[in-house]
Amino acid sequence: MKAAALAVLLGLYPMAAMADLCILPLEGGAPEKQIEREQPHRIISNSKAITGFPYVLARPWNRRGGPLMTVREMSYEPLGTAFPNSPIFDDFTPPRSDGSVWGWGWHSEGLYRLAPGTDVFLPVPGTENGRRFTYDRSEGRLYMLLRQQLFEVDETGTAILSDHGGWTLSDDPLRTQPDPLYPREATLPQFVPPLGVHLAAIEEEDVLWMREPDGTWRPLDHGGPIQNAYEVQKGRWHDDPVEGILTLLIGDVGLVFDARAMGEAHMLYRFDRIGGGAFPEGQAALIWEAPERLGRIARWLGVVPKPPRPRWVTRQGLVAVTEADLTTSFRAPPRPPSRGVSGHRVLNLPEFDTFLITHETGQSIYREGRIEILPQLSRDAVGKTIFVHRFGGRVFLSSLQGFYELDAMMNATPLSWPAPQHKAWDVIEAPGLGGALFKARATDEVWFTTNGRQFERVENRTGAARVAFGAELPDRPAMLAASSAGAALILACP
């Protein structure tokens, strides 16, 4: 199982070893503003590659109203083709049944379709006035709102009145009244497979609605208001088949449903003030409360807040994590972090069928429904804040204290940095190049490795420092980068 998961994860990219890499300047990539020279990452900001599209994309931060940029050969130039360009965000479907990829943006006029084997997104006729586009990954369906009706757009671009029964924004109870000048908008219904129902919400309301089999909608009794309920589509779902429950987190509110009652959203209970959680597939969910907030006087008096308490999510309710589940070393920091964010972090390790939970003293591992403290991953052993990296068929950890290889027994073997005199490094995974790039923060030296043990210096031919990294190119083994001299590529030296 572990070997298969690792093979799948690392088999997404060719693992050809790339030696003698260089950072080469791109024609047309010179900085246009002083801030781009001081902070080169702004030249290639928001860079990404889209499945099925042959060009890498970038939207420079300080060039408002400017074109999307891409790389062709050794030139950094405007994309120059139709695209769902948006100054705020855009979104894309994975390849649909015919291999096409669909996209839309915040201010784009309708949908855009990338046909298989082409390099241009073309506008889809008939969708120009659509809005609230949503792709339901569970059903593989693309929806849009048009003239206050819900339509499904198939692979050919045909808009069909949705089989949700012609659901419209003006139908009770999901209506936009009473103010026609400032109508509220409903979220598109979200299908929840474990429950077999659709859920939706309305802007500026604090209630979830469920669609009955006959097409009518009813409000859910979820024990009180839910702030930003309309963000149900962004909520975190966790299916626990053993307990037969489904947990939904919206903000700091959790709702637990009976997954054995198909065709209805029967809620078992609710919990509030959630600071975070760990949701392993097919296992019990673990949540912890938000840190206690103290008033100014209490803080001045030195009152220590109660640490967040980890709890299991079960069918009967939240169950405190006992000493049998967890040692007393699992505690929150004595002072709550800013903005009410829990001090716990979850680091997923699918290669080993588990995940790590970081806390005050180090790391714990979730294994078969139990959480075990790992002395070998304490703060003294591997550092305060660790990061996980994957390349060369291995898993690595890094921190300000050092660089380590992690094995299936959760042992961390110390390794050397490329240049041991430097202690602070940025590690950038580069699967298309077959390894990872290491940048010394103090000097901007860049090194490359395929295995974490042997390193090759990457030659910077831009004549400038302050190196920044972007997305990998989809059409060749190369990575978009930038220096104070402008946009660049990291690739095999010519």
* pLDDT tens sequence across 445-483: 999 999 999 999 999 999 999 999 999 999 999 999 999
pLDDT of residue 181: 44
* pLDDT tens sequence across 153-179: 999 998 887 755 444 444 444 443 444
pLDDT of residue 306: 60
Tokens matching residue 37: 């020279």
**Strand, coil or helix: 483:** strand
CA distance 485 to 494: 20
Q: What is the mean pLDDT of residues 238-258?
A: 88
CA distance 8 to 128: 39
**Strand, coil or helix: 104:** strand
Under the phi-then-psi rule, with left for phi > 0, alpha for psi from -120 to 50, and beta for the rest, what region is 442?
A: alpha
Q: What is the mean pLDDT of the chain?
A: 80
Question: Could you identify the residue written with the tokens 């084997």?
Answer: 117
Q: Which carries the bigger pLDDT value, residue 257 or residue 137?
A: 257
- β-bridge mates for residue 123, sequence order: 112
How far, CA to CA in Å, does 106 sit from each of 51, 139, 141?
20, 23, 20
With a CB cutoff of 8 Å and minimum separation 6, the contacts of 110 are 104, 123, 124, 126, 127, 128, 129, 130
Q: What is the mean pLDDT of residues 340-367?
A: 68
Half-sphere exposure at residue 34, Cβ-oriented, CA atoms within 13 angstroms: 0
Tokens matching residue 113: 């379709």
Please enumerate, as own/partner, the contacts of 333-341 that have beta carbons within 8 Å and a separation of 24 or more: 333/307, 333/360, 334/304, 334/305, 334/307, 334/360, 335/304, 335/305, 336/291, 336/292, 336/293, 336/294, 336/305, 337/291, 340/275, 340/290, 340/291, 340/293, 341/275, 341/276, 341/291
Direct distance between the N- and C-terminal alpha carbons of the chain, in angstroms, rounded to an integer: 41
The alpha carbon of 222 is separated from its chain's Cα centroid by a whole number of angstroms, namely 28
Selection from 97-111, 233-247, 427-441 with the highest mean pLDDT: 427-441
**Strand, coil or helix: 328:** coil
Q: Which carries the bigger pLDDT value, residue 405 or residue 283?
A: 405
- What is the SS3 string spanning 55-97? CCEECCCCCCCCCCEEEECCEEEECCCCCCCCCCCEEECCCCC
Report the share of the chain in percent with pLDDT over 70.
Answer: 76
- Model confidence band, residue 389 (pLDDT cutoffs 50, 70, 90): very high
Half-sphere exposure at residue 52, Cβ-oriented, CA atoms within 13 angstroms: 19
Q: How crowded is residue 329: how many other Cβ atoms within 10 Å of its Cβ?
A: 14
Q: Which carries the bigger pLDDT value, residue 337 or residue 423?
A: 423
